[in-house]
């Protein structure tokens, strides 16, 4: 018996960041959109907790108990007193350390897979609570679609999406550490009052209407200056995508993946070609959103 769960990546269509809190986190108005790049987590009975990973970026993923999927399984073990006898295999398609919440996806996937495998029967509320303890982005990986995340991003309000948005993602050479990008944000704002983060009503309306042109006009990411300061070469990638016909371009979350909103699928493909031709990124991915959250794909025997 094994259980496979598929979990999407995300892009932040708005990431409004407030000042640093006493606990080191930042209050956010974080508008998440799940997109169709997926990791798959398969849980299979084993003698002890073991993690393996496959995919082009697999060598960058820790396989010890620091792996977010292992931490998720152990959180369920602790609450339900079950034995941690599971092999978690991650088929990784989400870029690692790319600002697309791949580790968070694996945490949410492992939680859902272990809950099904062990028959722990955790409620949705309990799963969301465990997700929030594992990381600020993990609850969104569980629910998918589109949502506004407040607090440190873990308090979710689902958002209506009235259509499909077409995206191109440009993968960078190397990664950016999320804490390092937040620290750079603090450094750039030093000596200034950071405004309280607020969700943009125009952006929420553009999502509701499924209007890509309107959404392109209001995309924003307060971490972008910090990401560009740490990874200046991304400026060229952003310019190559807009020159190549994207409606808008921005850094995905803490980066260094860059995201390009396109008019339709055909336009997305030509933006992707332009990005590849520009040689300003290591690879491109064409996809769309919204995508569903963590979903059980298969119960094997
Ligand atoms: C920036 C965002 C945007 O969605 O994601 P990525 O683009 O990296 O995927 C998130 O805020 C990242 O969420 P996540 O990666 O889950 O962060 P966590 O594990 O909770 O925290 C890692 C570290 O990031 C910083 N952090 C995170 C969230 C937040 N609201 N304020 C912060 O300052 C803290 O330094 C924290 O120690
Ligand atoms: N299952 C996992 N997949 C990817 N990275 C993981 C995982 N578990 C722990 N990590 C660690 O978390 C870091 C951030 O990974 P990731 O979630 O891919 O990026 P981001 O926070 O930019 O979205 C990685 O560099 C890696 O050290």
Q: Which residues are documented as binding site for ATP?
A: 95-105
- pTM over 0.90? The answer is yes
Residue 193 is given by DSSP the state P
Res 266 pLDDT > 90: yes
Give, for ligand 2, the residue of 61, 91, 137 to mutate: max count of ligand atoms closer than 8 Å to Cβ. 61
Cα distance between residue 281 and residue 258, in whole Å: 9
ipTM of the complex: 0.98
Res 98 pLDDT > 90: yes
Domains of the chain in sequence order: 2-159 (3.30.230.10), 165-289 (3.30.70.890)
Run of H or E residues at 105: helix 102-118
Q: To the nearest whole percent, how much of the chain has pLDDT over 90?
A: 98
Cα distance between residue 297 and residue 102, in whole Å: 18
> What is the Å distance from ligand 2's center to 44 Cα?
22
Q: How confident is the model at residue 241 (pLDDT cuts 50, 70, 90)?
A: very high
Give, for ligand 2, the residue of 58, 62, 221 to mutate: max count of ligand atoms closer than 8 Å to Cβ. 62
- For the residues 160-167, what does the mean pLDDT come to? 98
Q: How confident is the model at residue 299 (pLDDT cuts 50, 70, 90)?
A: confident
Res 301 pLDDT > 90: no
- pLDDT of 300 reads 73
Largest pairwise CA distance in the chain: 60
Helix (H, G, I), strand (E, B) or coil at 94: coil
What is the pLDDT of the chain when averaged over all its residues? 97
Report whether residue 106 contacts ligand 2, using a CB cutoff of 6 Å. Answer: yes
Q: To the nearest whole percent, how much of the chain has pLDDT over 70?
A: 100
- pLDDT, tens only, 50-93: 999 999 999 999 999 999 999 999 999 999 999 999 999 999 99
Closest residue by Cα to atom 4, ligand 1, is: 253
- For the residues 205-215, what does the mean pLDDT come to? 98
**What DSSP letter does each residue of 236-279 carry, written as one string?**
HHHHHHHHTT-SEEEE-TTSSSEEEEESSHHHHHHHHHHHHHHT
DSSP H stretches of helix in 149-233: 178-189, 201-209, 212-218, 224-230
Cα distance between residue 148 and residue 158, in whole Å: 6
* Residue bearing tokens 């492992």: 110
**CA of 23, nearest ligand number:** 1
- pLDDT of 26 reads 98
**Nearest-10 crossing angle of helices 265-278, 234-243:** 130
The token pair at 171 is: 């993968």
């Amino acid at each position: 018996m094994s259980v496979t769960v598929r979990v999407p990546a995300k892009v932040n269509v708005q990431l409004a960041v407030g000042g640093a809190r006493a606990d080191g986190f930042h209050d956010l108005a974080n508008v998440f959109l799940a997109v169709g790049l997926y990791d798959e987590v398969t849980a299979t009975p084993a003698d002890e907790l073991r993690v393996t990973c496959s995919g082009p970026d697999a060598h960058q993923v820790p396989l010890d108990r620091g792996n977010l999927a292992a931490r998720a399984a152990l959180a369920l073990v602790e609450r339900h007193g079950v034995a941690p006898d599971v092999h978690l295999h991650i088929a990784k398609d989400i870029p690692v350390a790319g600002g697309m919440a791949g580790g968070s996806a694996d945490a949410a996937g492992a939680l859902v897979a272990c809950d099904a495998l062990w028959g722990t029967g955790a409620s949705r509320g309990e799963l969301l609570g465990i997700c929030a303890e594992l990381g600020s982005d993990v609850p969104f990986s569980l629910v998918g679609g589109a949502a506004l995340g407040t607090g440190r991003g873990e308090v979710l309000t689902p958002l209506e999406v009235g259509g499909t948005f077409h995206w191109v993602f440009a993968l960078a050479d190397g990664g950016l550490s999320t804490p390092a990008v937040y620290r750079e944000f603090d450094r750039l704002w030093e000596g200034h009052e950071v405004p309280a983060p607020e969700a943009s009503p125009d952006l929420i309306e553009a999502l509701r209407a499924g209007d890509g042109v309107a959404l392109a006009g209001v995309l924003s990411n307060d971490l972008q200056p910090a990401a560009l300061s740490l990874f200046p070469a991304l400026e060229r990638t952003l310019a190559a995508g807009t020159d190549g016909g994207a409606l808008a371009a921005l850094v995905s979350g803490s980066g260094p993946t860059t995201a390009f909103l396109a008019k339709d699928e055909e336009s997305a493909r030509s933006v992707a070609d332009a990005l590849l031709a520009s040689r300003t990124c290591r690879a491109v991915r064409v996809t769309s959103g919204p995508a569903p959250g963590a979903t059980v794909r298969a119960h094997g025997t």
